[in-house]
Chain A
């Protein structure tokens, strides 16, 4: 399943963002941030304890099952009074959750996490980006492995000269995706795909800002 991968901001930064707000309501989420251990129930409790130690008053906390879901405001209504007593809401969800919650409450929101990429959990505690939504899919030429996402430079015509022993120039722990693509295409007898000259990419292929309306006639 596709996941929003997050990292907690340092406590000093969170405190600086919370300057002037003495009473706080804390939000977590039961989905992606629970998986990343950045905004699940244990992390929300830990954050509440840390903030109390810093002299903050916690008016309440809640872990919304799916913070980005539009029906989340119904769950939030159960805590309406505690939320309204707070001077700020510290939100331990991905940026999608922050934006969804902020539409439904009057209290100013402060994000506690950085949203890093959209990916999947490949192994326990191991997260990997899978798609950067480039709008021009070339997976058919690359053995089903995405160089736009998995090559540090997003190169589409083969590896750079920085790769070494199948690893990436920037980190010997990271695989060079072009080495993997080469191996996959070779196994499939499809190396001619790698020889194909990929033209310059169309960076306007995905609309920016991302916005699309599907007409009723197309939906049928």
Chain B
């Protein structure tokens, strides 16, 4: 019997999670392949929820597939597309089908996605969604009505350790802890010295923190993230290292960098684990884990 994610978090082992992106359509072959490839290599698999506001197969459907394939899913839930009735209903459904973990996010704006005219809902925010889960666990819905059969979730949230300015994000981090977050998966970190300083601040809160690792696939991608992704800063030496890769070898160098960072985080016990986002390159996650010495050859 596979350990539940909460038990793994509490076991003290170095925790590894990865990410599955559902397809645009009903062809599930590719997603099923990624699930099969990763489900036994990592402790849990996040399933993204219309990532970047691009309409896709639902995270709830993807999380069910992970479950059916024998993996441990983390259901990502944003507040962008559902009001409090729909969010609560989906939590009831997820629990009834054996999904035990949920990651609560605000969600990107609809205007960055592929349905730019849609209504962004944001009836609840990430703090209120976490609090809603804890309320429902006591047997009540947000309307104050009794539930016939309750829920229980290992609930997590996200934090951006390198945001500028950082203080407003830290206040939000503390509100998420207060609202009931047990674990955090961070935005991508590349500067481990800076991340270490964040961890000195975060550690006393007693929540588990998994450092976000985004696989670099080219120096242009690193440059793009620096210019366009809030709170992501790839230091110049890493961009230079990607630039110096021989033709056709950039991905290999990106894998090396990711593996090196994971090793450093683990060996120096900087935080409790890592969350690997390979965005479209899920195939190479086992290789990252192998090079990070987290997998037997």
Contacts and interface: CB of A to CB of B under 8 A. Distances in A.
B187 A200 contact: no
A155 B168 CA distance: 13
B87 to A, nearest CB: 10
A199 interface: yes
A215 interface: no
Interface in A152-170: 152-166, 169-170
A161 B128 contact: no
A194 interface: yes
A154 B109 CA distance: 11
Nearest to B124: A200
Interface stretch (B64-72, B158-166, B239-247, B255-263): B158-166
Interface string A166-206: 10011000000011001000100001001101111101000
B281 interface: no
Given A161-B187, A161-B230, A170 B171 contact: no
Contacts of B40: none
A80 to B, nearest CB: 41
Given A164-B230, A197-B179, A155 B111 contact: no
B2 to A, nearest CB: 31
Given A156-B125, A169-B109, A164 B178 contact: no
Nearest to A165: B164
A198 B175 CA distance: 10
B171 A195 contact: yes
B240 to A, nearest CB: 24
Contacts of B75: none
A153 B174 contact: no
B120 interface: yes
Interface in B106-126: 106, 108-109, 111-112, 120, 122-126
B131 A197 contact: yes
B264 interface: no
Interface string A129-168: 0000000000000000000000011111111111111100
B169 interface: yes
Contact of A161 (B142, B158, B167, B171): B158
Nearest to B127: A157
Contacts of B187: 161
Contacts of A162: 108-109, 230
B39 interface: no
Contact of A159 (B80, B120, B131, B168): B168
B109 A153 contact: yes
Interface of B: 80, 84, 106, 108-109, 111-112, 120, 122-128, 131-132, 142, 158-160, 163-165, 167-169, 171-172, 174-175, 178-179, 187, 230-231
